[in-house]
Amino acid sequence: MQKKYQLLLLSIFFDGLGMLSFAIPFIGEFSDVVWAPLSAFLIYKMYGGTLGKGVGIISFVEEIGILGTDFLPTFTLTWIYKYFIKKEE
């Protein structure tokens, strides 16, 4: 149970970190180039397995901003999916 909530706090933190690119005009776009692969790797390590691989790809595409979805809290949404929709312990 403890690990579940630690994962939630980490997810919120990493989503906040990803949102920082909105705070700094022009430099923020460059930071997305660095953050996109890092976020994909982190989400894969945090959630592992098929879920981690799939969401890692989604996170990369979302953070690079190709589809205009850079604002989505991918880490937190993944946590919600894992623990509320799939109802894992």
64 band by pLDDT with thresholds 50, 70 and 90: confident
Q: Are 4 and 10 in contact (CB under 8 A)?
A: no
* 65: Cβ contacts below 8 Å, ≥ 6 apart: 29, 32
* 79: Cβ contacts below 8 Å, ≥ 6 apart: 7, 8, 11
Residue with the bigger pLDDT between 57 and 19: it is 57
How far apart are alpha carbons 69 and 62 in whole angstroms? 5
Question: 28-58: per-residue pLDDT in tens?
Answer: 677 888 889 999 999 999 999 999 999 999 9
Which ranges of the chain would DSSP assign to H, the alpha helix? Answer: 2-19, 27-47, 49-64, 74-80
